[in-house]
Structure 1
Amino acid sequence: MVTTDPGPTTITALTTDTWPLFEALVDRHNGIFGGCWCIWFHPDCAERGQSAEGNRALKRRLVEEGVARAALVVREGEDGEEAIAWAEFGTPEQLPTIHHRTQYLKDLAAAGEVEPDYRITCIFVDKRYRRHGLVTTALQGALDMIAADGGGIVEGYPHIPRTDKPTSSSFLYNGTRSVYERAGFDFIRAKGQRNTVMRRTLAPVSSG
């Protein structure tokens, strides 16, 4: 699929003020994966997964509470600013529901490791602008926000794409191993069949 170069972009945090940008991006893609609104990784609750509109309301509430955090990649469109990618991040308490969690915790304990200070659980790019490096842009935006928030151990769970057949970008919801390696992450172990656990340590960076 031929896509468009987005041109210059900026990074902004997902907040109640920038919610309309995030909301418009999700709406353009029919609620993302079956109307999930990127709430799957948040703590389980009665509202989660009941409907696309329920997920929208839950995501909005979590943003208002400061639980749902993300770096938004923004470009200047014909009608003003528009978000064209995001990287979701948070603490393990904010994002406890990761894929292959049982295996993850078992391997974590066996290695004598502790859970990270932050994890990056989802990176999504507008289908109009894919293949223009926006996964890397969104990931770096999240890392910069984490560093400004005090840094620490950061985990990501990128994919290893299949070599026997093409993999749809829709299934690479957290980028690929090579993207994380270029961002300074180290491979720790496999998680599931085609997922990984990767880590890097970020020093705190003063926002002043």
Structure 2
Amino acid sequence: MSDPTFSVRPLDEDTWPAFAQLVEANNGVWGGCWCMGFHVRLKGRTAAQNRAEKQERVREGRTHASLVLDGDQCLGWCQFGSPAELPEVKSRRLYEKGLTKLPEWRITCFFTGKGLRRRGVADAALGGALTEIAREGGGLVEGYPEETDDRAVSGSFLHTGPMAAFENHGFTRTRPISPHRWVVTRTVSPT
């Protein structure tokens, strides 16, 4: 359950400073990714390159995320976008093996700042992403959450989201793509 004082807003030029502040306070997110790992292959790229390209994509409207805010402070986010916008999927071989149709939308990445976890940020961010997807026309949405199976899992392994959050938002398990990661789907109606 998320905190009722949270607000959820899209990542855009107005919210970029709050997003950037959280990323910078957390070592660029996973050592400098800046939430670019599903946009491009990260090998050989620097944190500075990722930051600059993420900001350029925000300016141009080529990246989507729902940010969870407590006042002006960004607590975390959920990234989403089309397969063309987010072509880099994990476990690609198994993903493509079972693929019958590309979704209209992918939900690829979650992040909650250090010391801010266990407050419902991922749940609020996912709800915000689904609201934005509906506003953008809806369609088939895919996610790739980690199933914890009552095992302790490091937050770094949950970057694609916890299964419980997706199931709480009406997603259905479609097929496994690794021992603990699934493709989950849901159709979102346009608003």
Cα gap change, 1:52 to 1:179, in 2 (>3 Å) = same
Equivalent residues in 2 for 1:91-130, closer than 5 Å: 91-108=82-99, 113-130=100-117
8 Å CA contact 1:48–1:58 kept in 2: the answer is no
Q: For residue 127 of structure 1, give the secondary structure of its aligned residue in structure 2.
A: coil
CA–CA separation in structure 2 for the residues paired with 1:48 and 1:59 = 16
SS at the partner of 1:114?
A: coil
Output aligned runs, 1:1-208, within 5 Å. Answer: 8-44=5-41, 49-76=44-71, 81-108=72-99, 113-161=100-148, 163=150, 166-205=152-191
TM-fit CA distance, 1:102: 2.1
Q: CA deviation at 1:171?
A: 1.8
Instruction: Give ranges in structure 1 of 5+ residues lacking alignment.
Output: none
Instruction: Tell me how far apart the structure 2 counterparts of residues 187 and 43 of structure 1 sit (CA, whole Å).
Output: 26
Structure 2 CA distance for aligned equivalents of residues 54 and 179 of structure 1: 31
Q: How many percent identity over aligned positions?
A: 41
Contact 2:3–2:120 (8 Å) recurs in 1: no
CA distance in 2, matches of 1:187, 1:147: 21
| In structure 2, distance between residues paired with 1:153 and 1:43 | 23
Structure number, greater radius of gyration: 1
In structure 2, the residue corresponding to 1:63 is in which secondary structure? helix
Task: Give ranges in structure 2 of 5+ residues lacking alignment.
Answer: none
Query: Secondary structure, in 3 states, of the residue corresponding to 1:38?
Result: coil
Q: Specify the code of the residue in structure 1 equivalent to 2:51.
A: R
Q: 1:49 Cα shift?
A: 4.5
**Residue pair 2:66, 2:77 contacting (<8 A) in 1 also:** yes
Q: Output the CA distance in 2 between the equivalents of 1:24 and 1:14.
A: 13
RMSD between aligned residues: 1.7
Number of residue pairs aligned between Structure 1 and Structure 2: 190
The 8 Å contact of residues 39 and 48 in structure 1, kept in 2 or not, is answered as: no
TM-score, scaled relative to structure 2: 0.93
Spell out, residue by residue over 1:117-163, the C-alpha distance to the aligned partner (whole angstroms, 9 max, x if none): 00100011112221111111000000000001110000000001254
